[in-house]
Amino acid sequence: MTELPTPLEHHQYQRYSSSAEIEACLGALATAGGPYARLDRIGTSARGRPLHALVCAAPRRPGRPRLRVMMVGSQHGASEAAGCEALLMLARAVLIGEAQEWLDSLEFVFIPNANPDGRELDSSRNGNEVNINRDFVLLSQPETSALDNAVLRYEPEVILDAHESASLKTRTLGREGYLTDFEAQFDMAASPAVAPALREYGEAELLPALIAAVQGRGLRAQRYIREITSTRQPITHGGLTARKFRNKAGLRGALTVLLETPMEPKDGSYPSYRNIAERVARQSLCMQAFLAVVSRESARIARVVATASRLPEQQVLPLNGVWVKDLQSPEVVIELRRREDYLRQAVTFENWRKMEVRDPLALPRAYLITAHTGVFASLLARHQLAFEVLAESMTCTQERECFRGFDPVEGAWHAVETERVRAKAEPGSLLVPLTSRSARLLPLLLEPRSESSVFRYLAYARLLEERTPLFVTRIPRDAEYLPERLKSESHPLPPNPES
Ligand SMILES: [Zn+2]
């Protein structure tokens, strides 16, 4: 038996590790790692279970920069258990095993068990029955706040978010007689508001390198495609909103990668409990390949991430993106397996993997929030976005939008009118400046036109009155009447080049 067996190894792959066992294992690893390891409490789950990060780093030496890599497992609890189990083995290999040389070029923040309640409840959701990987706009759950705060606290250059998915979907594609047949998928933070440097490097270089590295190790890997529920659907890549961890972390400036490996049907007969041995082996292989590529590319990645921390060029930010049909390459052939005999069959789909950018916004200098300030102060605080509560009234140029109401077909708010006025904000209003840290995220959360907007949620949507100027207004960059404190040299936005 290996030194320090993980709970899964200890139970000879006959059941998943429990959250308590994972805690104990992380504690033992932190002790075994001595000065190279530290266990940080990063939060508490909805049902009161601790959330931990195991930080693994060699002592810092001047002139030897290292890339910090955050690896997150099992956001979807027991439904996707393998990521956590593989990360415990990887952390052991890095600290006391065969992978210690990674510590020459990398530092690690392991968050293996991102949803401990889901693991105990045999669920993909947390203890409040929320899918936490849809909650990064609201941050309504303690698990999502903990992960989002961990990105700010550790400032990783690179993040891997490890997931699994069922190859047989009995209620959708399975009904048509097929199951999917990939062995590993990778995607990037793809929101169009993510810095172009991150998106372009990720899509053109990092993803192809990852896929090649995994294929070189013997697994059929591909760029992530959104769940196939029917042979008649178009093929797209993943979701583009900040609701998902990978996009939110990308908007925070980290090069963020999604890993997804397939799971066989739960009730099949396998050599290990729910085929967990095979599933962990696939995750481990992909994680090794990921680290090999990231380590090889570390100097380049450091430069890309540094570039990405700058403000959007021309101070214009695309709020939305949609996947559209690629007219240059209108079809894509994907191999599925037939349910009846497991033989592969090539199926032709429409190819909608081209992203079209929508709703460009000229970045304002700041936002003013003049009503419902308690709700918004709490939201901004959860996101650690800086704001000021006005002690005195403030008169300035403001852009105010009126909306015609929510279009349930398009799922969008329609602006009927934008007015530019000189208006007074009362004491108690919130002044929210755009900084280089917040410029890519704040408009996505506050603009009703954005698909990542809080106004897409009922609790906020009902605050928006039709045909009445919205209480969230923009102070434009070229405002005629600009408050003194937004003019100051120390204000983080540089002057508009055109003005
Ligand atoms: Zn998942």
Residues 306-337 pLDDT 10s: 999 888 878 999 999 999 999 999 999 999 99
How many angstroms separate the CA atoms of 316 and 281, rounded? 44
Tell me, what's the pLDDT at 107? Answer: 97
Chain centre distance of CA 172: 26
Tell me, what's the pLDDT at 63? Answer: 79
Which two structure tokens, joined as six digits, stand for 75?
């956001």
Tell me, what's the pLDDT at 153? Answer: 98
Cα 52 to averaged position of ligand 1 atoms, centre (Å): 19
Domain ranges of the chain: 7-313, 321-357, 363-487
> What topology is assigned to 7-313 in CATH?
Aminopeptidase (3.40.630)
Pairing assessment for the beta strands 184-188 and 67-73 based on DSSP bridges: unpaired
Those residues whose beta carbon sits under 5 angstroms from the ion ligand 1 are 76, 80, 163
Asked if 133 contacts 141 with a C-beta cutoff of 8 angstroms, the reply is no
Name the phi and psi angles at 31, rounded to 5: -65, -45
Cα 228 to averaged position of ligand 1 atoms, centre (Å): 15
Write down the pTM of the prediction. 0.95
Task: Name 178's bridge partners.
Answer: 338
In angstroms, what CA-CA distances link 340 with 77, 177, 179, 349? 30, 7, 10, 21
The label of the residue with tokens 């992960």 reads 147
CA angle 320, 300, 56 (to 5 degrees): 95
Extract the residue ranges of the chain whose pLDDT is less than 50: 1, 489-499
Report pLDDT digits (tens) over 103-116. 999 999 999 999 99
Name the phi and psi angles at 316, rounded to 5: -120, 135
Cα 271 to averaged position of ligand 1 atoms, centre (Å): 24
Cα 245 to averaged position of ligand 1 atoms, centre (Å): 11
Burial of 359 (0-12, 13-18, 19+ CB in 10 A): middle
Cα 164 to averaged position of ligand 1 atoms, centre (Å): 6
Our CA dihedral for 147, 249, 382, 398, rounded to 10 degrees, sits at: 180
Cα 258 to averaged position of ligand 1 atoms, centre (Å): 9
Asked if 222 contacts 182 with a C-beta cutoff of 8 angstroms, the reply is yes
Cα 80 to averaged position of ligand 1 atoms, centre (Å): 6
DSSP 438-463: TTTTHHHHH-TTSTT-GGGSHHHHTT
